[in-house]
A and B are shown apart, each in its own frame.
Chain A
């Protein structure tokens, strides 16, 4: 069980590295067929990185939820909620990779200016639209679980709830206001996954409250 949790921590860091790399390679916006063909290798690599990132997030979530469940609530507790949200977030990256890959295929086929644009926008929107909701729910459940049992340091639980609150504010600004803060929410999410991964790889026993 402890090995699974530590492996989950390691895969969380791998996932963040992969996701950050794909953002560095192709950014967060859609593209057109000409631009995509000029940088095809980058888009191919970004697709692969999204697959690695999605699978890594799923492994990370499995280890993280296992840790929360081991010391915390019963079967109806927040760890199940964390597991569901994390698996959906990982699946979302895989879906994004599918849109990306289909956009590349259409660009290579030629005659697909419209479809390439459409698919690449869906590829970027998949992660930008769904990340805030999934991560807010993930963080609330994590905060509740950590504060109820000494699984992680209590400040980690407080920080999770604080980040959930901040992200809710940012998500509402992004949805209703004119400011585009989707990438800031993503940055905070990735940093939080790294912090959680480090905790997961470290302590293997309940932390003294």
Chain B
């Protein structure tokens, strides 16, 4: 009984990790919005601004590391739920888990570049290197989110369509969003529009909604009706 309760606690916490991840990562972008340092500007200007607001950028590193770890936890719970509805061996669950882990890695990679930018600016006095690292920190999630999340959403939508376990409206929305990610990614890459912020926003929204559904799902399983 104790183990069973621990199990549900773990799974419920894991399910809610998506909401927490989105919250942390959004806080990161909120902090960035208050900064002046622009990696798209001149090297010296960038470093001068970075040094003046160093602690803000240190916080950005921290929230992306924590956000990445929470995405990782959410990925495990999502894959577990998909495997439950799909049954063993859970090919689609595995197909969703892999890229979701990569998405967690994307945020951690962004944190790494951000931390390196601070170190290069303050420790080595390497202005050009610091600006380049900051540019990588900014671009990593913007460039990779669409393709990675397209794969996650496609696998999730296929598993939900095949085996159920999710509301029909969610399944349809996920299928539509998977295609939308592909279209937006191509438009962002080929066209003159800058859609990367929209793509990240949609990915956050989907993660939070999925997380909420997973939490409610585990509650239902834990409840007397679910148990019967």
* Residues of chain A having any CB pair with chain B under 8 Å: 30, 73-78, 80-81, 83-85, 87-88, 91-92, 95, 114, 117-118, 121-122, 125-126, 129-130, 133-134, 136-137, 144, 147-149, 175-176
Contacts and interface: CB of A to CB of B under 8 A. Distances in A.
Contacts, number: 114
A132 to B, nearest CB: 8
A84 B84 contact: no
B90 A129 contact: no
20 contacts: A76-B79, A78-B10, A78-B76, A80-B77, A81-B73, A81-B76, A88-B105, A91-B105, A117-B126, A117-B129, A118-B129, A118-B132, A121-B116, A121-B124, A125-B116, A129-B115, A130-B108, A133-B108, A175-B58, A175-B61
Interface of B: 3, 6-7, 10-11, 14, 58, 61-62, 65-66, 68-69, 72-73, 75-77, 79-81, 83-84, 90, 93, 97, 101, 104-105, 108-109, 111-113, 115-116, 119-120, 124, 126, 128-129, 132-133
Contacts of A175: 58, 61-62
- Chain B contact residues: over half helix, strand or loop, or mixed? helix
Contact of B111 (A84, A91, A129): A129
A122 B116 contact: yes
A88 B90 contact: no
B77 A76 contact: yes
A92 B128 CA distance: 24
Nearest to B111: A129
Contact of A137 (B69, B112, B115): B69
A75 B116 CA distance: 36
Contacts of A133: 65-66, 68-69, 108
A148 B3 CA distance: 5
Nearest to A145: B10
Given A121-B116, A122-B133, A148-B3, A137 B79 contact: no
Contacts of A122: 112-113, 116, 133
Contacts of A95: 109
